[in-house]
Amino acid sequence: GQIMMLWHVDHTLELCCIWQELHLLLTIWHFLHFMNGNNKIVEYINKFVSLTDKEAEVFCAAFKEKKVKKRQFIVQPNFIVRSRNYVLKGAFRAYVLDENGQESTISIAIEDWWIADYNSYILQTPATMFVVALEDSIVLELSYEDENRLKLENHKFETFFRIRAERTAAFM
Protein backbone atom coordinates (compact mmCIF):
# COMPACT_ATOMS: atom_id res chain seq x y z
CA GLY A 1 0.00 0.00 0.00
CA GLN A 2 2.80 2.42 0.90
CA ILE A 3 4.73 1.66 -2.31
CA MET A 4 1.59 2.25 -4.37
CA MET A 5 0.99 5.52 -2.50
CA LEU A 6 4.55 6.73 -3.18
CA TRP A 7 4.22 5.78 -6.85
CA HIS A 8 0.94 7.74 -7.02
CA VAL A 9 2.46 10.80 -5.29
CA ASP A 10 5.54 10.73 -7.58
CA HIS A 11 3.44 10.51 -10.73
CA THR A 12 1.00 13.14 -9.49
CA LEU A 13 3.94 15.49 -8.90
CA GLU A 14 5.35 14.65 -12.34
CA LEU A 15 2.01 15.34 -14.00
CA CYS A 16 1.68 18.58 -12.05
CA CYS A 17 5.15 19.71 -13.19
CA ILE A 18 4.41 18.74 -16.79
CA TRP A 19 1.13 20.66 -16.63
CA GLN A 20 2.89 23.75 -15.24
CA GLU A 21 5.56 23.57 -17.96
CA LEU A 22 2.89 23.18 -20.64
CA HIS A 23 0.98 26.14 -19.21
CA LEU A 24 4.16 28.22 -19.23
CA LEU A 25 4.90 27.27 -22.85
CA LEU A 26 1.36 28.17 -23.88
CA THR A 27 1.64 31.51 -22.08
CA ILE A 28 4.93 32.25 -23.86
CA TRP A 29 3.44 31.21 -27.23
CA HIS A 30 0.40 33.43 -26.62
CA PHE A 31 2.64 36.37 -25.68
CA LEU A 32 4.82 35.93 -28.79
CA HIS A 33 1.77 35.52 -31.03
CA PHE A 34 0.18 38.57 -29.39
CA MET A 35 3.33 40.65 -29.92
CA ASN A 36 3.75 39.59 -33.56
CA GLY A 37 0.10 39.60 -34.61
CA ASN A 38 -1.06 42.68 -32.78
CA ASN A 39 2.07 44.80 -32.62
CA LYS A 40 0.64 47.15 -35.28
CA ILE A 41 -2.52 47.87 -33.30
CA VAL A 42 -0.47 48.47 -30.13
CA GLU A 43 1.80 50.87 -32.00
CA TYR A 44 -1.30 52.57 -33.40
CA ILE A 45 -3.10 53.06 -30.07
CA ASN A 46 0.14 54.24 -28.42
CA LYS A 47 0.11 57.20 -30.84
CA PHE A 48 -2.95 58.43 -28.93
CA VAL A 49 -2.65 57.01 -25.39
CA SER A 50 0.24 55.30 -23.65
CA LEU A 51 -0.55 51.72 -22.61
CA THR A 52 1.30 49.46 -20.20
CA ASP A 53 2.14 45.97 -21.45
CA LYS A 54 -0.79 44.56 -19.47
CA GLU A 55 -3.22 47.17 -20.87
CA ALA A 56 -1.98 46.42 -24.39
CA GLU A 57 -2.56 42.72 -23.81
CA VAL A 58 -6.12 43.38 -22.55
CA PHE A 59 -6.80 45.66 -25.53
CA CYS A 60 -5.49 43.17 -28.10
CA ALA A 61 -7.32 40.24 -26.52
CA ALA A 62 -10.61 41.95 -27.44
CA PHE A 63 -9.82 41.72 -31.17
CA LYS A 64 -10.27 38.77 -33.50
CA GLU A 65 -8.08 38.41 -36.55
CA LYS A 66 -10.13 37.80 -39.69
CA LYS A 67 -9.00 37.04 -43.24
CA VAL A 68 -11.11 38.64 -45.94
CA LYS A 69 -10.98 37.64 -49.61
CA LYS A 70 -10.95 40.13 -52.47
CA ARG A 71 -14.54 41.23 -53.31
CA GLN A 72 -15.85 39.87 -49.98
CA PHE A 73 -18.29 42.19 -48.19
CA ILE A 74 -17.79 42.87 -44.49
CA VAL A 75 -20.75 45.30 -44.34
CA GLN A 76 -23.98 45.23 -46.34
CA PRO A 77 -27.08 47.45 -46.19
CA ASN A 78 -29.93 46.43 -43.91
CA PHE A 79 -27.70 44.40 -41.57
CA ILE A 80 -26.58 45.83 -38.23
CA VAL A 81 -22.81 46.29 -38.04
CA ARG A 82 -21.66 44.34 -34.99
CA SER A 83 -17.95 45.21 -35.20
CA ARG A 84 -15.45 47.79 -36.40
CA ASN A 85 -12.35 46.71 -38.27
CA TYR A 86 -8.72 47.76 -38.05
CA VAL A 87 -6.95 46.97 -41.34
CA LEU A 88 -3.75 45.02 -40.78
CA LYS A 89 -3.21 44.20 -44.43
CA GLY A 90 -5.12 45.04 -47.59
CA ALA A 91 -7.63 47.66 -48.66
CA PHE A 92 -11.39 48.26 -48.40
CA ARG A 93 -13.94 50.49 -50.05
CA ALA A 94 -17.11 51.80 -48.40
CA TYR A 95 -19.82 52.92 -50.82
CA VAL A 96 -23.54 53.57 -51.18
CA LEU A 97 -25.92 53.03 -54.08
CA ASP A 98 -28.28 55.81 -55.15
CA GLU A 99 -31.84 55.19 -56.39
CA ASN A 100 -30.47 54.60 -59.93
CA GLY A 101 -27.94 52.01 -58.78
CA GLN A 102 -25.01 54.43 -59.18
CA GLU A 103 -22.17 53.75 -56.72
CA SER A 104 -20.71 56.61 -54.65
CA THR A 105 -17.55 55.93 -52.66
CA ILE A 106 -17.76 57.13 -49.05
CA SER A 107 -14.28 56.06 -47.91
CA ILE A 108 -11.27 53.90 -48.60
CA ALA A 109 -9.29 52.13 -45.86
CA ILE A 110 -5.77 50.80 -46.20
CA GLU A 111 -3.33 49.31 -43.69
CA ASP A 112 -3.39 51.04 -40.30
CA TRP A 113 -6.88 52.51 -40.92
CA TRP A 114 -10.32 51.63 -39.56
CA ILE A 115 -13.42 50.76 -41.59
CA ALA A 116 -17.12 50.22 -40.81
CA ASP A 117 -20.50 51.82 -41.37
CA TYR A 118 -20.09 53.93 -38.25
CA ASN A 119 -23.73 55.05 -38.02
CA SER A 120 -24.81 51.43 -37.97
CA TYR A 121 -22.03 50.42 -35.58
CA ILE A 122 -22.44 53.22 -33.05
CA LEU A 123 -26.25 53.34 -33.11
CA GLN A 124 -26.69 49.58 -33.69
CA THR A 125 -29.13 50.25 -36.53
CA PRO A 126 -29.19 48.70 -40.02
CA ALA A 127 -26.28 49.68 -42.29
CA THR A 128 -26.85 51.91 -45.30
CA MET A 129 -23.60 51.17 -47.14
CA PHE A 130 -21.44 48.39 -48.47
CA VAL A 131 -17.86 47.74 -47.34
CA VAL A 132 -15.93 45.45 -49.66
CA ALA A 133 -12.34 44.17 -49.75
CA LEU A 134 -10.41 45.49 -52.75
CA GLU A 135 -7.78 42.76 -52.29
CA ASP A 136 -7.14 39.80 -50.02
CA SER A 137 -6.95 41.44 -46.60
CA ILE A 138 -6.57 40.85 -42.89
CA VAL A 139 -8.48 42.87 -40.29
CA LEU A 140 -8.61 42.96 -36.54
CA GLU A 141 -12.29 42.88 -35.71
CA LEU A 142 -13.58 44.50 -32.50
CA SER A 143 -17.17 43.79 -31.50
CA TYR A 144 -19.49 46.51 -30.25
CA GLU A 145 -19.84 44.69 -26.92
CA ASP A 146 -16.09 44.24 -26.45
CA GLU A 147 -15.42 47.89 -27.28
CA ASN A 148 -17.92 49.02 -24.68
CA ARG A 149 -16.45 46.61 -22.12
CA LEU A 150 -12.96 48.01 -22.79
CA LYS A 151 -14.23 51.57 -22.34
CA LEU A 152 -15.82 50.69 -18.99
CA GLU A 153 -12.71 48.88 -17.73
CA ASN A 154 -10.11 51.55 -18.45
CA HIS A 155 -10.38 55.29 -19.13
CA LYS A 156 -7.43 55.07 -21.55
CA PHE A 157 -9.55 52.97 -23.92
CA GLU A 158 -12.41 55.46 -23.59
CA THR A 159 -9.96 58.27 -24.41
CA PHE A 160 -8.58 56.39 -27.42
CA PHE A 161 -12.02 55.76 -28.94
CA ARG A 162 -13.11 59.37 -28.25
CA ILE A 163 -10.04 60.68 -30.07
CA ARG A 164 -10.76 58.28 -32.97
CA ALA A 165 -14.36 59.52 -33.17
CA GLU A 166 -13.24 63.15 -33.10
CA ARG A 167 -10.74 62.59 -35.89
CA THR A 168 -13.26 60.69 -37.97
CA ALA A 169 -15.79 63.53 -37.55
CA ALA A 170 -13.14 66.13 -38.42
CA PHE A 171 -12.53 64.50 -41.79
CA MET A 172 -16.20 64.25 -42.79
DSSP label at 116? S
What would the mean pLDDT of 93-122 be, rounded to a whole number? 95
Return the pLDDT at 29. 46
Q: Is the pLDDT of residue 30 over 60?
A: no
Q: How far apart are the first and last CA of the chain?
A: 79
Percent of the chain at pLDDT > 90 equals 72
Distance CA 97, CA 108 (A): 16
Nearest Cα neighbor of 95 from 118, 114, 117 is 117
What global pTM score does this model have?
A: 0.75
Q: Where are the alpha helices (DSSP H) in the chain?
A: 2-45, 53-61, 118-123, 144-153, 155-170
Over residues 59-87, the pLDDT tens digits come to: 999 999 999 999 999 999 999 999 999 99
Write the pLDDT tens digit of every residue in 2-26: 555 555 555 555 655 565 665 555 5
Alpha-carbon distance of 5 to 8, in angstroms, equals: 5
Average pLDDT, the chain: 86
What percent of the chain has a predicted confidence (pLDDT) above 70?
77
pLDDT at 158 over 70: yes
Say how many C-beta atoms besides its own lie within 10 A of residue 43's C-beta: 11
Question: Helices 144-153 and 155-170, interaxial angle, to 10°?
Answer: 120
